[in-house]
Structure 1
Amino acid sequence: MSTPPLVSILIPAYNHEDFVERCLDSVLEDPYPSKEIVIIDDGSTDKTSERILAWIERHGHEVPVEFAQRANKGIAATLNELAARARGDFYRLGASDDYLLPGGLDAQVQYLMRHPRKGAVIGDSVVVDREGRCLHASGMADLHGANKRLYASDQGIRRAVITHWAVGGPVALLRRSALETVARWTEGLRIDDWDLFLRLAARDALGFIDTPVCAYRLHGANLSKTRHRATRIVNLEESREVAIRRLCLFDEPCRTLLRAQVHYIGAKVAFLQARPGTLALRLACYALLRGWAAVRPGAAHPHPEEA
């Protein structure tokens, strides 16, 4: 590309004073030449803002940075505000406790340039601990147990996003126009990424490259990895509501698969609530719907611009 498109690195920051400078350093370390950082401190109560301001003082002349700090509004509202502030043709999702891997930006931009019908592309991650030591070579396969071969086709991606959510860390690059099409992030959700990627997958707008593009850090305070039972129930109930809300976007057999997932999530909730009768019923419904989806014929699926 003679003039590489501008990539906006969107970083929502919250109580990550120990990690945010490594996140920002990684943007500089990636050799992709046309980039900016847009970062918001979403009401941190530690020294996250001080660390960001110190980093900008040292490196602000090397890369354009827009920084804001304000009261806490939540992850989805922060991502929407970051996107509104960004100037790029592409948005690279970041996280203030994780960091980018060199070469990931170029690999993802190249993919979207070659696939104009795709609105977003995800990559894989490596999984590291608090100190940056590698725990897993593949977040998708090793941490989440995903079958990455499913991501080789649009149908496989739809099935993977519905039945086995395995996207961990800031691994997505999105077109600005794709967010305008799917209405950005749904505010009020605690775990918002599955909702966004369901909407993208339903339009066959999601692609995949089998390349590690970020380091996903496990440090004991990850929202999606909580062991607190009540919080897990709230997160699962939210996921079940998201699945119900997005049923209308899918043709068969994926719609039936998503119905099955509603019952599977409900079974997890019943297990945590120690309700064996409900657990058995949910699992029976899940198995029945998965079997029905396996024999249902697939509908012709339109390309994103035809949907």
Structure 2
Amino acid sequence: MRFSFIVTAYNIEEYIGSCLDSLTPCLRPGDQLIVVDDGSGDCSCEEIMARLAPLEGRGIELCPIFLGANTQGGVGIPANVALAEVRGEALFFVDGDDLLEAGGFMAARQVYEAHPSDLLIANFRVYDAALDRYMPPADQPLWARVPGARDPEARRHLALQMIGVPWRKIYRVAFLRAAGLCFPEGDFFYEDNPFHWQACLAAGEIRFLDRSVCAHRVARAGQTMAAQGAELTAFFDHYETILSLLPDAQYRPDALRWLLENMAWHIERLDPGAHWVYAMRAQEVLAAVPEADWQALRRDPVALRSWGVARALAAGDLAAVISGWQGQAVMRRLADLEGRLAHLSGEMDRQQQTLGGVQDWAEGQRALQEFRALKALAGERQVDETG
């Protein structure tokens, strides 16, 4: 069976070479490799061509595409450009800063070739670049439910609860084309979420394989997943898009669960400067959620992570919610400063007699002053909230 691979890249010269090297053992003669660069301003294009050169003459169709200028939004336009070039029977997406795990991918390929389906959803690992550590994804517990999801609808509901990234799935190309599936295009990011819902809702057969097919890199500079500002309101746009795709009301709680799960992630990282913009957009969307959808998730542990905040926003209690967010931001800052102070204290003890020690001492004094100011602010906020 001929596989097509789509790799998307934008300003990732440090990572794209390793990504393509990890993909090489997964290629067979007859496969197609499409690499789309979305107008990088660094040397990503040169890295791409250097890594493709050794693949010449191996019977692999190479299709590098250089868009020349960065397109609007995120991966939507470059992914759709690549989809138009697909010639294989099966399709696999690759994030240009990730690493394929050849053993897991080839196992997934073997399973898929033996039992083709519209979608095969595999597992993956998360690589935290800041901690230099591999971790399971947040949806890891869902794999325990796979054996019990025996009928197509149960498998569809389970698939909709999994993290909706395209680079963990093998797609049947004829299915994608028959359903007319493509990524949404616009001035927003996280386009893979509506695409995931489109694919899962349209698929006739969904299979699962609990093998890691790639290591997904997080916590690198410039990564979309590192967003903390108003761009996170795109999730409310995508929620509305997802609602418009639903064939009937039975999937509405699934859609709300997806939104609440992502909101829990947003709330932990949202920049204070984006609090009001995010809260107002959330209130606009959540106020329209039927009570039946809320009640369907009343005991769902994932939804409950942001349930209280979401209900307060839906009711219009924006000021109270934002006050709570601001207090949490202060406490996170305090925790960060405590860690810095502990580190600097140790350094000052070791280097007190050197110039470096003097610099560390000065930095420690600045951190201490900031810590005291924030602690005082946190105390005032606590008095205001309890008084």
State whether TM-score is above 0.5. yes
8 Å contact 2:181–2:198 — kept in the other structure? Answer: no
Offset at residue 266 of structure 1 (A)? 10
- Work out whether residues 264 and 283 of structure 1, in 8 Å CA contact, stay in contact via their aligned partners in 2: no
Q: Which letter maps to 1:49?
A: C
Deviations 1:122-174 (A, max 9, x none): 211111134994421x22xxx34542233442334332344x44245721111
AA partner of residue 159 (structure 1): H
Equivalence for 1:221? 222
Offset of residue 56 of structure 1: 2.3
- The answer as to whether partners of 1:6 and 1:35 remain within 8 angstroms in 2 is yes
Who is 2:348 aligned against?
none
- Identify the residue that residue 257 of structure 1 maps to in structure 2: 253
- CA positional deviation for 1:228: 1.8
Task: Select which of 145, 148, 166 maps to 2:143.
Answer: 148
Q: Distance in 2 between matches of 1:67 and 1:6?
A: 18
1:163-182 alignment runs, 5 A limit: 164-168=161-165, 170-182=167-179
- Counterpart of 1:288 (choices 290, 295, 316) is 295
Q: 1:263, 1:54 → 2: CA distance?
A: 41
CA distance in 1 between counterparts of 2:49 and 2:142 reads 41
Do the aligned residues in 2 keep the contact of 1:10 with 1:93 (CA within 8 Å)? yes
> What value does the CA root-mean-square deviation take over the aligned residues?
3.5
Q: Does 1:119 align with 2:118?
A: yes
Query: Which residues in structure 2 correspond to 1:4-19 (within 5 Å)?
Result: 5-19=1-15
| Cα 1:182/1:192, change in 2 over 3 Å | farther
- Aligned match of 1:302: none
- 2:21 is equivalent to residue 25 of structure 1: yes
- CA distance, structure 2, for counterparts of residue 123 and residue 230 of structure 1: 32
CA gap of 1:160–1:238, structure 2 versus 1, over 3 A, is: farther
Instruction: State the match for 1:240 in structure 2.
Output: 239
Pairwise CA distance, 1:217: 0.7
SS state of the match for residue 200, structure 1? helix
Measured in 2, the distance between the counterparts of 1:166 and 1:67 equals 28
Larger CA Rg, structure 1 vs 2: 2
Residue 114 (structure 1) shift: 3.8
Verify: 1:192 aligned to 2:191, yes or no: yes
Q: Which amino acid aligns with 1:147?
A: L
- Alpha carbons of structure 1 residues 263 and 104: separation in structure 2 relative to 1, 3 Å: closer
Q: 1:186 to 1:80 in 2, by over 3 A?
A: same
Aligned to 2:14, what secondary structure does the other structure show? coil
Alpha-carbon contact 1:77-1:185 (below 8 Å) kept: no
Quick check: 1:150–1:156 contact (8 Å CA) kept in 2?
no
Which structure dedicates a bigger proportion of its chain to helix? Answer: 2
Query: SS of the residue aligned with 1:216?
Result: strand
Higher RCO, Cα 8 Å, sep 6+: 1
| Alpha-carbon contact 1:239-1:265 (below 8 Å) kept | no
Partner of 2:355: none
1:32 and 1:85 mapped to 2: Cα distance?
Answer: 18
Q: Which residue of 2 aligns with 1:52?
A: 48
The Cα of 1:25 is off from its aligned counterpart by 0.5
Letter in 2 for 1:243: I
1:222-260 alpha-carbon deviations (Å, 9 max, x no partner): 32x234231112x2222212222112x24x63x242464
Q: 1:256, 1:289 within 8 Å by CA — same for their partners in 2?
A: no
Q: What TM-score comes out, normalization by structure 1 length?
A: 0.76
Counterpart amino acid of residue 221 in structure 1: G
Identity value in percent: 18
Q: 1:11-31 CA distances to partner (integer Å, 9 max, x unpaired)? A: 111111111011110121237
Equivalent in the alignment of 2:207? 207
Asked whether the 8 Å contact 2:45–2:66 carries over to 1, the reply is yes
Give SS of 1:212's match: strand
